[in-house]
Structure 1
Protein backbone atom coordinates (compact mmCIF):
# COMPACT_ATOMS: atom_id res chain seq x y z
CA UNK A 1 0.00 0.00 0.00
CA UNK A 2 2.82 2.38 0.83
CA UNK A 3 4.50 1.62 -2.50
CA UNK A 4 1.30 2.31 -4.44
CA UNK A 5 0.74 5.50 -2.49
CA UNK A 6 4.32 6.62 -3.12
CA UNK A 7 4.12 5.91 -6.86
CA UNK A 8 0.88 7.88 -7.14
CA UNK A 9 2.24 10.79 -5.14
CA UNK A 10 5.48 10.83 -7.12
CA UNK A 11 3.50 11.21 -10.33
CA UNK A 12 1.59 14.13 -8.81
CA UNK A 13 4.82 15.58 -7.48
CA UNK A 14 6.05 16.26 -11.00
CA UNK A 15 3.66 19.20 -11.20
CA UNK A 16 3.61 20.31 -7.56
CA UNK A 17 5.61 23.02 -5.87
CA UNK A 18 7.12 22.20 -2.50
CA UNK A 19 6.57 24.49 0.42
CA UNK A 20 9.51 25.93 2.35
CA UNK A 21 11.04 23.58 4.90
CA UNK A 22 12.67 24.25 8.25
CA UNK A 23 16.08 22.59 7.78
CA UNK A 24 18.97 21.80 10.11
CA UNK A 25 22.15 21.73 8.02
CA UNK A 26 25.30 19.97 9.21
CA UNK A 27 28.36 18.15 7.83
CA UNK A 28 31.61 16.48 8.87
CA UNK A 29 34.16 18.68 7.08
CA UNK A 30 33.58 21.53 9.52
CA UNK A 31 31.17 24.41 9.95
CA UNK A 32 33.27 26.69 7.70
CA UNK A 33 33.87 24.17 4.89
CA UNK A 34 33.05 25.16 1.29
CA UNK A 35 30.70 22.20 0.83
CA UNK A 36 28.33 23.15 3.64
CA UNK A 37 28.34 26.75 2.43
CA UNK A 38 27.39 25.66 -1.09
CA UNK A 39 24.39 23.72 0.23
CA UNK A 40 23.46 26.54 2.64
CA UNK A 41 23.33 29.03 -0.23
CA UNK A 42 21.38 26.65 -2.50
CA UNK A 43 18.78 25.89 0.18
CA UNK A 44 18.31 29.59 0.95
CA UNK A 45 17.95 30.38 -2.75
CA UNK A 46 15.19 27.74 -2.94
CA UNK A 47 13.29 29.52 -0.14
CA UNK A 48 14.00 27.18 2.76
CA UNK A 49 14.69 28.23 6.34
CA UNK A 50 18.16 26.96 7.27
CA UNK A 51 20.02 26.70 10.56
CA UNK A 52 23.65 25.62 10.14
CA UNK A 53 25.10 23.60 13.03
CA UNK A 54 28.39 21.93 12.10
CA UNK A 55 31.53 20.62 13.80
CA UNK A 56 34.11 23.21 14.82
CA UNK A 57 36.87 21.09 13.26
CA UNK A 58 37.16 18.74 10.31
CA UNK A 59 35.70 15.43 11.49
CA UNK A 60 35.95 13.44 8.27
CA UNK A 61 35.80 9.68 8.68
CA UNK A 62 34.76 9.87 12.32
CA UNK A 63 31.58 7.87 11.74
CA UNK A 64 29.00 7.99 14.52
CA UNK A 65 31.41 9.08 17.27
CA UNK A 66 29.91 11.35 19.93
CA UNK A 67 30.34 12.66 23.47
CA UNK A 68 30.17 9.68 25.82
CA UNK A 69 31.41 11.21 29.11
CA UNK A 70 28.58 12.57 31.33
CA UNK A 71 29.10 16.24 32.16
CA UNK A 72 31.53 16.84 29.29
CA UNK A 73 31.54 20.53 28.31
CA UNK A 74 30.86 21.38 24.65
CA UNK A 75 31.65 24.77 23.12
CA UNK A 76 29.06 26.39 20.84
CA UNK A 77 30.29 29.29 18.73
CA UNK A 78 27.90 31.49 16.75
CA UNK A 79 29.42 32.49 13.42
CA UNK A 80 26.44 34.56 12.28
CA UNK A 81 22.67 34.51 12.55
CA UNK A 82 21.51 30.88 12.29
CA UNK A 83 25.10 29.61 11.93
CA UNK A 84 26.82 27.68 14.73
CA UNK A 85 29.94 25.59 15.32
CA UNK A 86 30.11 22.80 17.91
CA UNK A 87 33.48 21.79 19.31
CA UNK A 88 35.62 21.04 22.33
CA UNK A 89 36.00 23.68 25.04
CA UNK A 90 39.26 25.68 25.16
CA UNK A 91 42.16 23.61 26.48
CA UNK A 92 40.31 20.30 26.15
CA UNK A 93 42.40 17.14 26.40
CA UNK A 94 41.00 13.60 26.30
CA UNK A 95 40.85 11.65 29.57
CA UNK A 96 44.01 9.65 30.26
CA UNK A 97 44.03 6.34 28.45
CA UNK A 98 40.86 7.14 26.50
CA UNK A 99 40.28 8.04 22.88
CA UNK A 100 37.49 10.56 22.60
CA UNK A 101 36.15 13.17 20.20
CA UNK A 102 34.18 16.28 21.10
CA UNK A 103 32.24 18.27 18.55
CA UNK A 104 31.57 15.50 16.03
CA UNK A 105 28.86 15.53 13.36
CA UNK A 106 26.61 13.49 15.68
CA UNK A 107 27.30 16.01 18.47
CA UNK A 108 26.28 18.80 16.10
CA UNK A 109 23.00 17.05 15.27
CA UNK A 110 22.30 16.44 18.96
CA UNK A 111 22.99 20.10 19.83
CA UNK A 112 20.90 21.29 16.91
CA UNK A 113 17.88 19.08 17.58
CA UNK A 114 17.94 18.98 21.39
CA UNK A 115 19.09 22.52 22.21
CA UNK A 116 19.24 25.16 19.50
CA UNK A 117 16.09 24.04 17.66
CA UNK A 118 14.28 22.19 20.43
CA UNK A 119 11.37 24.68 20.28
CA UNK A 120 11.42 24.91 16.49
CA UNK A 121 11.99 21.30 15.48
CA UNK A 122 13.20 21.05 11.88
CA UNK A 123 11.28 19.24 9.17
CA UNK A 124 14.49 17.84 7.70
CA UNK A 125 18.18 17.42 8.49
CA UNK A 126 20.63 17.85 5.60
CA UNK A 127 24.26 16.75 5.96
CA UNK A 128 26.91 17.91 3.48
CA UNK A 129 28.04 18.35 0.89
CA UNK A 130 31.07 16.30 1.83
CA UNK A 131 34.48 16.57 0.20
CA UNK A 132 34.63 13.02 -1.17
CA UNK A 133 32.04 10.39 -1.95
CA UNK A 134 30.29 8.30 0.68
CA UNK A 135 29.36 5.09 -1.10
CA UNK A 136 29.94 1.40 -0.50
CA UNK A 137 31.97 0.56 2.64
CA UNK A 138 32.77 4.26 3.15
CA UNK A 139 29.23 4.90 4.37
CA UNK A 140 29.95 3.08 7.65
CA UNK A 141 32.83 5.39 8.60
CA UNK A 142 31.30 8.56 7.16
CA UNK A 143 30.56 11.41 9.54
CA UNK A 144 28.34 12.91 6.85
CA UNK A 145 26.12 9.85 6.55
CA UNK A 146 26.12 9.10 10.27
CA UNK A 147 24.95 12.63 11.05
CA UNK A 148 21.94 11.91 8.82
CA UNK A 149 21.45 8.50 10.42
CA UNK A 150 21.50 10.07 13.89
CA UNK A 151 18.78 12.52 12.85
CA UNK A 152 16.62 9.70 11.51
CA UNK A 153 17.15 7.68 14.67
CA UNK A 154 15.85 10.71 16.57
CA UNK A 155 12.77 10.83 14.36
CA UNK A 156 13.70 13.46 11.75
CA UNK A 157 14.06 12.52 8.05
CA UNK A 158 17.48 13.36 6.65
CA UNK A 159 19.48 13.70 3.44
CA UNK A 160 23.24 13.10 3.22
CA UNK A 161 25.09 14.76 0.33
CA UNK A 162 28.61 14.10 -0.95
CA UNK A 163 30.76 15.27 -3.88
CA UNK A 164 33.06 12.60 -5.27
CA UNK A 165 36.83 12.67 -5.81
CA UNK A 166 38.57 11.90 -9.10
CA UNK A 167 40.91 9.29 -7.60
CA UNK A 168 43.22 9.07 -10.61
CA UNK A 169 43.66 12.84 -10.87
CA UNK A 170 44.15 13.42 -7.15
CA UNK A 171 46.82 10.69 -7.07
CA UNK A 172 48.70 12.35 -9.92
CA UNK A 173 48.09 15.97 -8.95
CA UNK A 174 46.57 16.46 -5.47
CA UNK A 175 45.92 20.18 -5.93
CA UNK A 176 44.17 19.71 -9.28
CA UNK A 177 42.20 16.76 -7.93
CA UNK A 178 41.03 18.71 -4.90
CA UNK A 179 40.03 21.66 -7.05
CA UNK A 180 37.98 19.41 -9.34
CA UNK A 181 35.91 18.26 -6.36
CA UNK A 182 35.54 21.83 -5.08
CA UNK A 183 34.40 22.96 -8.54
CA UNK A 184 31.63 20.34 -8.52
CA UNK A 185 30.20 21.36 -5.13
CA UNK A 186 27.86 24.09 -6.40
CA UNK A 187 26.38 21.68 -8.97
CA UNK A 188 26.11 19.04 -6.23
CA UNK A 189 24.23 21.49 -4.02
CA UNK A 190 21.84 22.56 -6.77
CA UNK A 191 21.12 18.95 -7.71
CA UNK A 192 20.51 17.97 -4.09
CA UNK A 193 18.11 20.86 -3.60
CA UNK A 194 16.18 19.80 -6.72
CA UNK A 195 15.94 16.30 -5.23
CA UNK A 196 14.75 17.70 -1.90
CA UNK A 197 12.20 20.00 -3.52
CA UNK A 198 10.77 17.25 -5.75
CA UNK A 199 10.54 14.90 -2.76
CA UNK A 200 9.09 17.61 -0.51
CA UNK A 201 6.34 18.29 -3.06
CA UNK A 202 5.33 14.64 -2.82
CA UNK A 203 5.45 14.81 0.97
CA UNK A 204 3.28 17.95 1.00
CA UNK A 205 0.67 16.26 -1.19
CA UNK A 206 0.64 13.24 1.12
CA UNK A 207 -0.04 15.49 4.12
CA UNK A 208 -2.93 17.13 2.29
CA UNK A 209 -4.47 13.77 1.43
CA UNK A 210 -3.97 12.56 5.00
CA UNK A 211 -5.65 15.68 6.41
CA UNK A 212 -8.49 15.42 3.91
CA UNK A 213 -9.13 11.84 5.03
CA UNK A 214 -8.91 12.91 8.71
CA UNK A 215 -6.12 10.43 9.25
CA UNK A 216 -7.89 7.46 7.69
CA UNK A 217 -5.73 7.28 4.55
CA UNK A 218 -2.94 5.52 6.44
CA UNK A 219 -0.51 5.04 3.52
CA UNK A 220 -0.53 8.80 2.92
CA UNK A 221 -0.34 9.56 6.63
CA UNK A 222 2.80 7.43 6.94
CA UNK A 223 4.66 9.43 4.25
CA UNK A 224 7.24 11.85 5.65
CA UNK A 225 8.20 15.37 4.59
CA UNK A 226 10.34 14.10 1.70
CA UNK A 227 7.78 11.65 0.38
CA UNK A 228 9.15 8.46 1.95
CA UNK A 229 7.75 6.14 4.64
CA UNK A 230 8.47 6.88 8.29
CA UNK A 231 11.82 8.57 8.81
CA UNK A 232 13.50 7.13 5.73
CA UNK A 233 16.00 9.49 4.10
CA UNK A 234 18.40 9.70 1.18
CA UNK A 235 22.13 9.41 0.52
CA UNK A 236 23.09 11.49 -2.52
CA UNK A 237 26.49 11.21 -4.21
CA UNK A 238 27.47 13.48 -7.10
CA UNK A 239 30.48 12.89 -9.38
CA UNK A 240 33.39 15.32 -9.64
CA UNK A 241 32.23 16.49 -13.06
CA UNK A 242 30.75 19.56 -14.67
CA UNK A 243 26.96 19.29 -14.73
CA UNK A 244 26.92 18.76 -18.51
CA UNK A 245 29.30 15.81 -18.16
CA UNK A 246 27.26 13.85 -15.58
CA UNK A 247 25.96 10.65 -17.16
CA UNK A 248 22.50 10.69 -15.60
CA UNK A 249 20.98 9.62 -12.30
CA UNK A 250 21.20 6.10 -10.82
CA UNK A 251 19.08 4.70 -7.99
CA UNK A 252 21.29 2.12 -6.34
CA UNK A 253 21.71 0.33 -2.99
CA UNK A 254 24.79 0.65 -0.80
CA UNK A 255 27.30 -1.88 -2.08
CA UNK A 256 29.98 -3.90 -0.32
CA UNK A 257 32.34 -2.84 -3.14
CA UNK A 258 34.10 0.50 -3.48
CA UNK A 259 37.02 2.22 -5.20
CA UNK A 260 38.55 3.32 -1.89
CA UNK A 261 39.90 0.32 0.01
CA UNK A 262 42.03 0.61 3.17
CA UNK A 263 44.00 -2.41 4.36
CA UNK A 264 46.45 -2.91 7.24
CA UNK A 265 49.94 -3.67 5.93
CA UNK A 266 53.15 -4.29 7.86
CA UNK A 267 56.24 -2.62 6.43
CA UNK A 268 59.88 -3.72 6.55
CA UNK A 269 60.27 -1.53 9.64
CA UNK A 270 57.66 -3.65 11.44
CA UNK A 271 55.13 -0.80 11.59
CA UNK A 272 51.56 -1.64 10.58
CA UNK A 273 50.02 1.08 8.44
CA UNK A 274 46.56 1.50 6.93
CA UNK A 275 47.25 1.82 3.21
CA UNK A 276 45.11 2.29 0.14
CA UNK A 277 45.06 -0.85 -1.98
CA UNK A 278 43.59 -1.63 -5.36
CA UNK A 279 39.94 -2.69 -5.19
CA UNK A 280 38.93 -6.12 -6.48
CA UNK A 281 37.05 -6.34 -9.75
CA UNK A 282 33.34 -5.81 -9.02
CA UNK A 283 30.91 -8.65 -9.56
CA UNK A 284 27.82 -8.24 -11.73
CA UNK A 285 25.75 -7.64 -8.60
CA UNK A 286 28.23 -5.10 -7.21
CA UNK A 287 28.07 -3.18 -10.47
CA UNK A 288 24.44 -2.40 -9.64
CA UNK A 289 25.50 -0.78 -6.36
CA UNK A 290 26.16 2.85 -5.50
CA UNK A 291 29.96 2.91 -5.71
CA UNK A 292 30.20 1.41 -9.20
CA UNK A 293 27.35 3.54 -10.55
CA UNK A 294 29.09 6.66 -9.24
CA UNK A 295 32.34 5.53 -10.90
CA UNK A 296 30.47 5.59 -14.23
CA UNK A 297 29.92 9.33 -13.79
CA UNK A 298 26.33 9.17 -12.58
CA UNK A 299 24.71 11.02 -9.70
CA UNK A 300 23.54 8.31 -7.29
CA UNK A 301 20.54 8.36 -4.96
CA UNK A 302 20.16 5.73 -2.24
CA UNK A 303 17.29 5.51 0.29
CA UNK A 304 18.60 4.97 3.84
CA UNK A 305 17.15 4.82 7.34
CA UNK A 306 18.35 5.14 10.91
CA UNK A 307 17.02 1.80 12.15
CA UNK A 308 19.63 -0.91 12.71
CA UNK A 309 16.93 -3.49 13.47
CA UNK A 310 16.56 -6.32 10.96
CA UNK A 311 13.28 -6.93 9.16
CA UNK A 312 10.38 -8.51 11.10
CA UNK A 313 10.88 -11.73 9.11
CA UNK A 314 14.55 -11.98 10.16
CA UNK A 315 13.65 -11.15 13.76
CA UNK A 316 11.07 -13.97 13.78
CA UNK A 317 13.64 -16.36 12.27
CA UNK A 318 16.21 -15.50 14.97
CA UNK A 319 13.61 -15.97 17.70
CA UNK A 320 12.59 -19.36 16.30
CA UNK A 321 16.23 -20.44 15.95
CA UNK A 322 17.25 -19.38 19.46
CA UNK A 323 14.02 -19.95 21.34
CA UNK A 324 14.41 -21.77 24.65
CA UNK A 325 17.89 -20.49 25.48
CA UNK A 326 18.40 -19.83 29.19
CA UNK A 327 20.54 -17.01 30.61
Structure 2
Protein backbone atom coordinates (compact mmCIF):
# COMPACT_ATOMS: atom_id res chain seq x y z
CA UNK A 1 0.00 0.00 0.00
CA UNK A 2 1.15 3.52 -0.86
CA UNK A 3 -0.06 6.14 1.65
CA UNK A 4 -0.04 9.91 1.19
CA UNK A 5 0.23 11.85 4.46
CA UNK A 6 -0.58 15.53 4.93
CA UNK A 7 -1.89 17.91 7.62
CA UNK A 8 -2.52 21.58 8.41
CA UNK A 9 -0.01 21.94 11.28
CA UNK A 10 3.09 21.84 9.06
CA UNK A 11 5.60 19.24 7.93
CA UNK A 12 7.52 19.16 11.21
CA UNK A 13 4.44 18.83 13.43
CA UNK A 14 4.67 16.09 16.04
CA UNK A 15 1.43 14.41 15.01
CA UNK A 16 2.45 14.06 11.38
CA UNK A 17 5.96 12.82 12.15
CA UNK A 18 4.74 10.19 14.62
CA UNK A 19 2.11 9.04 12.13
CA UNK A 20 4.79 8.82 9.44
CA UNK A 21 6.92 6.56 11.66
CA UNK A 22 3.96 4.25 12.30
CA UNK A 23 2.93 4.09 8.64
CA UNK A 24 6.50 3.36 7.54
CA UNK A 25 6.27 0.10 9.46
CA UNK A 26 3.03 -0.80 7.69
CA UNK A 27 2.93 0.57 4.16
CA UNK A 28 4.96 -0.30 1.09
CA UNK A 29 5.58 3.42 0.53
CA UNK A 30 4.85 6.64 2.42
CA UNK A 31 4.84 10.07 0.78
CA UNK A 32 4.48 13.15 2.98
CA UNK A 33 3.36 16.37 1.30
CA UNK A 34 2.49 18.98 3.92
CA UNK A 35 2.44 22.76 4.42
CA UNK A 36 5.74 24.44 5.24
CA UNK A 37 4.12 25.98 8.34
CA UNK A 38 0.93 26.23 10.38
CA UNK A 39 -2.22 26.49 8.21
CA UNK A 40 -5.01 25.70 10.68
CA UNK A 41 -8.56 26.74 9.70
CA UNK A 42 -7.49 27.03 6.06
CA UNK A 43 -10.66 25.15 5.12
CA UNK A 44 -10.74 24.24 1.42
CA UNK A 45 -8.78 27.29 0.32
CA UNK A 46 -6.40 26.89 -2.60
CA UNK A 47 -3.57 29.08 -3.87
CA UNK A 48 -4.41 30.43 -7.32
CA UNK A 49 -3.00 33.97 -7.35
CA UNK A 50 0.43 33.33 -5.87
CA UNK A 51 3.35 31.08 -6.75
CA UNK A 52 3.80 27.87 -4.76
CA UNK A 53 7.25 26.87 -3.55
CA UNK A 54 7.99 23.22 -2.81
CA UNK A 55 11.01 21.80 -1.05
CA UNK A 56 11.90 18.12 -1.11
CA UNK A 57 13.67 17.20 2.09
CA UNK A 58 16.90 15.17 1.90
CA UNK A 59 17.01 11.49 2.78
CA UNK A 60 14.32 10.28 0.38
CA UNK A 61 14.32 6.55 -0.33
CA UNK A 62 12.19 4.17 -2.37
CA UNK A 63 9.90 3.86 0.68
CA UNK A 64 9.61 7.39 2.10
CA UNK A 65 9.64 10.90 0.70
CA UNK A 66 8.91 14.27 2.37
CA UNK A 67 7.96 17.49 0.58
CA UNK A 68 6.94 20.84 2.08
CA UNK A 69 4.64 23.22 0.19
CA UNK A 70 4.27 26.95 0.78
CA UNK A 71 0.49 26.77 0.43
CA UNK A 72 -2.59 25.23 2.06
CA UNK A 73 -3.42 21.60 2.90
CA UNK A 74 -5.54 21.36 -0.26
CA UNK A 75 -2.59 22.73 -2.27
CA UNK A 76 -0.49 19.92 -0.81
CA UNK A 77 -2.87 17.18 -1.95
CA UNK A 78 -3.24 18.73 -5.38
CA UNK A 79 0.54 19.05 -5.78
CA UNK A 80 0.90 15.41 -4.77
CA UNK A 81 -1.84 14.01 -6.98
CA UNK A 82 -1.31 16.22 -10.02
CA UNK A 83 2.48 16.47 -9.99
CA UNK A 84 4.69 14.60 -7.53
CA UNK A 85 2.67 11.35 -7.57
CA UNK A 86 0.95 11.59 -10.95
CA UNK A 87 2.66 8.36 -12.06
CA UNK A 88 2.40 6.58 -8.70
CA UNK A 89 -0.96 7.45 -7.16
CA UNK A 90 -1.45 6.58 -3.48
CA UNK A 91 -3.99 4.01 -2.31
CA UNK A 92 -5.02 6.12 0.70
CA UNK A 93 -4.75 9.72 1.93
CA UNK A 94 -4.39 10.38 5.68
CA UNK A 95 -4.53 13.93 7.04
CA UNK A 96 -3.26 14.47 10.59
CA UNK A 97 -2.67 13.75 13.35
CA UNK A 98 -4.11 17.18 14.12
CA UNK A 99 -3.53 18.93 17.44
CA UNK A 100 -7.13 19.84 18.36
CA UNK A 101 -10.56 18.47 17.54
CA UNK A 102 -12.30 18.70 14.17
CA UNK A 103 -15.87 17.96 15.25
CA UNK A 104 -19.32 18.72 13.90
CA UNK A 105 -19.64 21.94 11.92
CA UNK A 106 -15.94 22.67 12.47
CA UNK A 107 -15.15 20.37 9.55
CA UNK A 108 -16.26 23.28 7.32
CA UNK A 109 -13.29 25.33 8.54
CA UNK A 110 -10.76 22.56 9.04
CA UNK A 111 -7.68 22.34 6.85
CA UNK A 112 -7.13 18.82 8.15
CA UNK A 113 -10.54 17.59 6.99
CA UNK A 114 -10.45 19.59 3.75
CA UNK A 115 -7.24 17.85 2.72
CA UNK A 116 -8.98 14.49 3.21
CA UNK A 117 -11.99 15.79 1.25
CA UNK A 118 -9.76 15.91 -1.82
CA UNK A 119 -9.61 12.09 -1.80
CA UNK A 120 -12.92 11.32 -3.54
CA UNK A 121 -12.13 13.86 -6.26
CA UNK A 122 -9.20 11.60 -7.20
CA UNK A 123 -11.12 8.40 -6.40
CA UNK A 124 -8.84 7.70 -3.45
CA UNK A 125 -10.25 6.94 0.04
CA UNK A 126 -9.16 9.26 2.83
CA UNK A 127 -9.07 9.71 6.60
CA UNK A 128 -8.75 12.83 8.77
CA UNK A 129 -7.41 12.28 12.30
CA UNK A 130 -7.58 14.80 15.17
CA UNK A 131 -7.13 14.67 18.93
CA UNK A 132 -8.08 16.91 21.82
CA UNK A 133 -4.82 16.88 23.77
CA UNK A 134 -1.60 15.88 22.07
CA UNK A 135 1.06 14.28 24.23
CA UNK A 136 3.74 12.09 22.68
CA UNK A 137 2.45 8.90 24.32
CA UNK A 138 -1.17 9.57 23.42
CA UNK A 139 -0.18 10.54 19.89
CA UNK A 140 1.71 7.25 19.43
CA UNK A 141 -1.36 5.35 20.67
CA UNK A 142 -3.44 7.27 18.13
CA UNK A 143 -1.00 6.39 15.34
CA UNK A 144 -1.41 2.71 16.23
CA UNK A 145 -5.18 3.14 16.14
CA UNK A 146 -4.88 4.72 12.69
CA UNK A 147 -2.99 1.65 11.50
CA UNK A 148 -5.78 -0.59 12.85
CA UNK A 149 -8.42 1.55 11.11
CA UNK A 150 -6.51 1.41 7.84
CA UNK A 151 -6.43 -2.38 8.04
CA UNK A 152 -10.02 -2.90 9.23
CA UNK A 153 -11.91 -0.18 7.39
CA UNK A 154 -9.96 0.55 4.23
CA UNK A 155 -8.13 -2.70 3.46
CA UNK A 156 -10.54 -5.37 4.73
CA UNK A 157 -13.71 -3.27 4.49
CA UNK A 158 -12.69 -1.53 1.25
CA UNK A 159 -14.38 1.68 2.45
CA UNK A 160 -14.21 4.07 -0.52
CA UNK A 161 -14.98 7.39 1.19
CA UNK A 162 -13.81 9.83 3.86
CA UNK A 163 -13.58 8.92 7.55
CA UNK A 164 -13.27 11.68 10.15
CA UNK A 165 -11.64 10.45 13.37
CA UNK A 166 -11.54 12.38 16.66
CA UNK A 167 -9.74 11.19 19.81
CA UNK A 168 -10.94 12.38 23.26
CA UNK A 169 -8.60 14.06 25.74
CA UNK A 170 -8.93 11.09 28.09
CA UNK A 171 -10.04 7.51 27.68
CA UNK A 172 -8.82 4.36 26.00
CA UNK A 173 -7.48 4.68 22.46
CA UNK A 174 -8.65 1.47 20.82
CA UNK A 175 -11.25 0.19 18.39
CA UNK A 176 -13.26 -1.07 21.38
CA UNK A 177 -13.76 2.53 22.49
CA UNK A 178 -14.81 3.82 19.06
CA UNK A 179 -18.36 4.75 18.00
CA UNK A 180 -19.67 5.53 14.52
CA UNK A 181 -21.68 8.75 14.92
CA UNK A 182 -23.04 11.62 12.79
CA UNK A 183 -21.96 15.25 12.86
CA UNK A 184 -23.74 17.91 14.84
CA UNK A 185 -23.31 21.65 15.29
CA UNK A 186 -20.21 22.54 17.31
CA UNK A 187 -21.07 25.45 19.62
CA UNK A 188 -18.58 28.13 20.74
CA UNK A 189 -19.06 30.99 23.19
CA UNK A 190 -17.23 34.34 23.31
CA UNK A 191 -16.27 34.00 19.66
CA UNK A 192 -15.12 37.60 19.15
CA UNK A 193 -12.48 39.04 21.49
CA UNK A 194 -11.71 42.76 21.57
CA UNK A 195 -8.05 43.76 21.79
CA UNK A 196 -5.96 46.90 21.70
CA UNK A 197 -3.19 47.20 19.14
CA UNK A 198 0.21 48.61 20.10
CA UNK A 199 -0.98 52.03 18.91
CA UNK A 200 -4.09 51.79 21.08
CA UNK A 201 -6.54 51.17 18.25
CA UNK A 202 -9.32 48.64 18.77
CA UNK A 203 -8.96 45.30 16.94
CA UNK A 204 -10.57 41.91 17.12
CA UNK A 205 -9.66 38.24 17.24
CA UNK A 206 -11.84 35.24 16.38
CA UNK A 207 -11.36 32.77 19.24
CA UNK A 208 -14.20 31.07 21.15
CA UNK A 209 -14.66 28.76 24.13
CA UNK A 210 -15.53 25.22 23.08
CA UNK A 211 -18.90 23.98 24.38
CA UNK A 212 -19.28 20.19 24.41
CA UNK A 213 -22.27 20.21 26.78
CA UNK A 214 -25.20 21.02 24.49
CA UNK A 215 -24.75 18.45 21.71
CA UNK A 216 -27.36 15.67 21.30
CA UNK A 217 -26.28 12.24 22.51
CA UNK A 218 -26.12 10.56 19.11
CA UNK A 219 -23.42 12.85 17.72
CA UNK A 220 -19.67 13.19 17.31
CA UNK A 221 -19.44 15.99 19.89
CA UNK A 222 -21.33 13.96 22.54
CA UNK A 223 -19.19 10.95 21.74
CA UNK A 224 -16.06 12.94 22.62
CA UNK A 225 -17.79 14.41 25.67
CA UNK A 226 -18.40 10.87 26.93
CA UNK A 227 -14.77 9.84 26.44
CA UNK A 228 -15.22 7.76 23.28
CA UNK A 229 -13.48 7.93 19.91
CA UNK A 230 -15.76 9.47 17.26
CA UNK A 231 -15.74 7.96 13.76
CA UNK A 232 -17.81 9.91 11.23
CA UNK A 233 -18.06 9.05 7.53
CA UNK A 234 -18.20 12.24 5.46
CA UNK A 235 -19.04 13.10 1.86
CA UNK A 236 -18.01 16.04 -0.29
CA UNK A 237 -21.27 16.26 -2.25
CA UNK A 238 -23.43 18.95 -0.63
CA UNK A 239 -26.67 18.61 -2.58
CA UNK A 240 -29.66 18.70 -0.23
CA UNK A 241 -31.46 15.82 -1.96
CA UNK A 242 -34.70 16.03 0.04
CA UNK A 243 -35.03 19.73 -0.80
CA UNK A 244 -34.89 19.22 -4.57
CA UNK A 245 -38.64 18.75 -5.00
CA UNK A 246 -39.42 21.61 -2.62
CA UNK A 247 -37.38 24.04 -4.70
CA UNK A 248 -38.84 22.68 -7.98
CA UNK A 249 -42.31 23.70 -6.75
CA UNK A 250 -41.32 27.35 -6.99
CA UNK A 251 -39.68 27.20 -10.42
TM-score for both structures, normalised by structure 2: 0.86
Structure-2 change in CA distance of 1:262 and 1:25 (3 Å) = farther
Q: State the alpha-carbon separation in 1 of the partners of residues 203 and 56 from structure 2.
A: 43
Q: Which residue of structure 2 aligns with residue 250 of structure 1? A: 179
Structure-2 change in CA distance of 1:56 and 1:263 (3 Å) = same
Per-residue Cα deviation, 1:230-257 (whole angstroms, up to 9, x for no partner): x421001112336479981111111113
Query: Superposition pairs for residues 2-41 of structure 1, below 5 Å?
Result: 21-41=1-21
Query: Superposition pairs for residues 58-207 of structure 1, below 5 Å?
Result: 58-69=38-49, 72-79=50-57, 80-81=59-60, 82-87=65-70, 103-165=71-133, 181-203=135-157
Could you tell me which of 164, 176, 191 is aligned with 1:263? 191
- Whose radius of gyration is greater, 1 or 2? 1
Per the TM alignment, residue 158 of structure 1 is displaced from its structure 2 partner at its CA by 0.7
How many pairs were matched up?
A: 242
Per the TM alignment, residue 281 of structure 1 is displaced from its structure 2 partner at its CA by 4.2
Q: State the alpha-carbon separation in 1 of the partners of residues 124 and 52 from structure 2.
A: 23
Structure-2 change in CA distance of 1:314 and 1:185 (3 Å) = same
Per the TM alignment, residue 131 of structure 1 is displaced from its structure 2 partner at its CA by 0.7
Per-residue Cα deviation, 1:245-273 (whole angstroms, up to 9, x for no partner): 99811111111134x55622557985444
Q: Which residue of structure 2 aligns with residue 11 of structure 1? A: none
Structure-2 change in CA distance of 1:281 and 1:107 (3 Å) = same
Per the TM alignment, residue 316 of structure 1 is displaced from its structure 2 partner at its CA by 3.8
Could you tell me which of 8, 23, 42 is aligned with 1:43? 23
Q: Is the 8 A contact 1:28 1:59 kept in 2?
A: yes
Q: Is the 8 A contact 1:262 1:276 kept in 2?
A: yes
Q: Which residue of structure 1 aligns with residue 222 of structure 2? A: 292
Q: Is the 8 A contact 1:105 1:147 kept in 2?
A: yes
Per-residue Cα deviation, 1:2-35 (whole angstroms, up to 9, x for no partner): xxxxxxxxxxxxxxxxxxx211110000011110
Could you tell me which of 233, 255, 276 is aligned with 2:208? 276
Q: State the alpha-carbon separation in 1 of the partners of residues 13 and 131 from structure 2.
A: 13
Q: State the alpha-carbon separation in 2 of the partners of residues 121 and 267 from structure 1.
A: 47
Q: Is the 8 A contact 1:54 1:84 kept in 2?
A: yes
Considering fraction of residues, name the structure with more helix: 1
TM-score for both structures, normalised by structure 1: 0.67
**Unaligned runs of at least 5 residues, structure 1:** 1-20, 88-102, 166-179, 204-226
SS at 2:140 equivalent: helix
Considering fraction of residues, name the structure with more strand: 2
Cα RMSD between the aligned structures?
2.5
Per the TM alignment, residue 138 of structure 1 is displaced from its structure 2 partner at its CA by 1.9
**Unaligned runs of at least 5 residues, structure 2:** none
Q: Which residue of structure 1 aligns with residue 231 of structure 2? A: 301
After the TM superposition, which parts of structure 1 deviate over 6 Å for at least 4 consecutive aligned residues? 244-247
SS at 1:61 equivalent: coil
Per the TM alignment, residue 280 of structure 1 is displaced from its structure 2 partner at its CA by 7.7
Structure-2 change in CA distance of 1:146 and 1:245 (3 Å) = closer
